[in-house]
Amino acid sequence: MMYRIFVWGVNFKTAPLEQRELLACNREDAYYLLPPLKTVEGIKELILLSTCNRVEVYGVAQDYDSINRLVSELLHLKGADARLKKSSFFLEGERAVAHVFKVASGLESMVVGETQIVNQFKEAYRIARELGCVGKVLNRLYEKALRTAKRVRTETGISKNAVSVSYVAVELAKRIFGSLAHIKVLLVGAGEMAELSAKYLKKLQAHLFITNRTYERAVELSKELEGHVLRFEELEDHLRDFDIVIVSTGSKQYLINHSMVNKAIRKRNYKPMFFIDISVPRNIEPSVGSIDEVFLYNIDDLQEVADKNLKERLREKERGEIIVWDEVSKFMKWMELLKVEGVIVKLKNQWKDVEEREPRVRRLVHMLVEEIRKEPSLAEKLVKIFLQEVENANTGRRLPYVYNRAHGA
């Protein structure tokens, strides 16, 4: 019996956050949920993927009733209302395979082309494998999904352009300074986007310093980011020491003005300074950007770059989808072949003794197996032609090609 490959779930396209939260699963939840779900009658293989934007089940099932039982059990175990089904989606066959490949490639992400999903996909598979929930089909699906993701990343430019404001800020800093290793960065305030930019910079080995009107908050954030603290009242005196200054506070006035930066840049002998003002209203006086060797970006500047980059990614997405469907066709051909594996094994066993005695029959069996592998959908027709060929061979008739016969040539 051949089973159905399917996808069921909710994601940011089908369900609002408050509904996705009802099904959200952390690592411990996955270990709790998968064993009972795997025992649902008719479910053969299973992977559970849960991220901030999606909760999806990738599986192999005997029939639709099995899938319905699985969904009902998942909702029951999560304590979710059955009405949640109205916000879910279901795919099977090649559309399910294409969806999995797109998810792994970042083509289905809220931020198209983001790469974090690959690690989340790997972790979901690892847990499912550890719990004995995957077999021949999902093992192959996983391998091909990763291959597709790699092709999309290397053959398109979908991941090259930053599309979040925080990341754009870091990319712009890299253009100005090249390597950011050992660059000194000052984080003024503790806004979420500024903090995220600081985390990106930290990964690139920049030296972080934090200042805040509330000293205790600066200390708390410095521990989290493994940085250093600068007292807020010392900001003007030490401004010259920093290559990059990221500002995000709730202040309604300028914290850094033209005069402060002018003094700082002269004391630095006009070594470049990069200012990122993610505050609304702005905390850096706009005229600062007119000072030689000073680069100033506000949130609108960054958003403009991010929007432009997103358009570039969406163009690259089309190229990525061509790659996905190329890989889907290969996977579905393998699935077709899986259907006739039993036919091939049975055929080889039935004709084993005759093959040893009759070289002509051995050639026909070899030809038949090769043609079935090329075109699994023609297996039944090819077997009938094979039996006729054997009969012809035994009566001394000329042997036409099995493949051509199958196609009506």
What are the tens digits of pLDDT across the range 350-391? 666 655 566 666 666 667 667 666 776 666 666 666 666 666
Residues spanned by the domain of 81:
4-155
User: pLDDT (tens digit, 9 = 90+) per residue, 48-67?
Assistant: 999 878 999 999 999 999 99
3-class DSSP string for the chain: CCCEEEEEEEECCCCCHHHHHHHCCCHHHHHHHHHHHHCCCCEEEEEEEEECCEEEEEEEECCHHHHHHHHHHHHHHHCCCHHHHHHCEEEEHHHHHHHHHHHHHCCCCCCCCCCHHHHHHHHHHHHHHHCCCCCHHHHHHHHHHHHHHHHHHHHCCCCCCCCCHHHHHHHHHHHHHCCCCCCEEEEEECCHHHHHHHHHHHHCCCEEEEECCCHHHHHHHHHHHCCEECCHHHHHHHHHHCCEEEEECCCCCCCECHHHHHHHHHHCCCCCEEEEECCCCCCECHHHHHCCCEEEEEHHHHHHHHHHHHHHHHHHHHHHHHHHHHHHHHHHHHHHHHHHHHHHHHHHHHCHHHHHHCHHHHHHHHHHHHHHHHCHHHHHHHHHHHHHHHHHHHCCCCCCCHHHHHCCC
Task: Determine, yes or no, domain membership for 277.
Answer: yes
Least confident of 29-33, 123-127, 137-141, 306-310: 306-310
Biggest distance spanned by C-alpha atoms of the chain: 104
Residue 342 lies in a domain: no
Task: Indicate the pLDDT class of residue 340, thresholds 50, 70 and 90.
Answer: low
Residues 255 and 115 in one domain: no
Where a domain ends, among 306, 333, 359?
Answer: 306
Residues 6+ apart with CB under 8 A from 42: 61, 62, 63, 65, 66, 67, 69
Residue 336 lies in a domain: no
Nearest to 261 by CA among 298, 286, 229: 286
Provide φ and ψ at 348, rounded to 5°.
Answer: -60, -40
Statement to judge: residues 11 and 143 lie in one domain = yes
Residue 339 in domain: no
Give the pLDDT confidence of 71-130 residue by residue, as tens digits: 999 999 999 999 999 999 999 999 999 999 999 999 998 778 877 789 899 999 999 999
Q: What is the pLDDT at residue 379?
A: 66
Residue 364 maps to a domain: yes
126 shares its domain with 180: no
Res 191 pLDDT > 70: no
Q: What is the mean pLDDT of residues 279-286?
A: 86
Say what the pLDDT of residue 169 is. Answer: 81
Does residue 274 share a domain with residue 144?
no
Predicted local confidence at residue 400, as pLDDT: 47
Domains identified in the chain, total number: 3
The pTM assigned to this predicted structure is 0.64
The mean pLDDT value of the chain amounts to 85
Final residue before a domain boundary, out of 253, 276, 306 = 306
Residue 237: CB atoms within 10 A of its CB come to 13
Higher pLDDT, 37 or 202: 37
The whole-angstrom separation of Cα 89 and Cα 69 is 15
Q: Are residues 67 and 95 in the same domain?
A: yes
- Which band of pLDDT confidence, cut at 50, 70 and 90, is reported for residue 311? confident
Catalytic residue flag (residue 133): no
Query: The domain spanning residue 237 has which CATH number?
Result: 3.40.50.720
Res. 312 pLDDT band, cuts 50 70 90? confident
Half-sphere exposure of 286 (CA within 13 A, CB side): 6
**C-alpha span between 48 and 175 (Å, rounded):** 40
**Which residue among the candidates 52, 82, 345, 387 is catalytic per the annotation?**
52
Whether 114 and 200 share a structural domain: no
Q: Tell me: do 134 and 16 sit in the same domain.
A: yes
Band (pLDDT 50/70/90 cuts) for residue 397 is: very low
Q: Are residues 112 and 175 both part of a single domain? A: no
- Last-in-domain residue among 155, 177, 201: 155
Asked whether residue 202 carries a pLDDT value surpassing 60, the answer given is yes
Q: Tell me whether residue 341 is in a domain.
A: no
The alpha carbon of 98 is separated from its chain's Cα centroid by a whole number of angstroms, namely: 13
**pLDDT above 60: residue 247:** yes
Claim to verify: residue 139 and residue 53 sit in the same structural domain: yes
Residue 150 has pLDDT above 90, yes or no: yes
Specify the pLDDT at position 403.
46
* pLDDT in the model for residue 251: 82
Task: Give yes or no: residues 210 and 257 share one domain.
Answer: yes
Confidence of residue 392 (pLDDT cuts 50, 70, 90): low
Residue 273 has pLDDT above 80, yes or no: yes
**What integer is the mean pLDDT of 291-311?**
85
Whether 130 and 174 map to the same domain: the answer is no
- In a shared domain, residues 10 and 145: yes
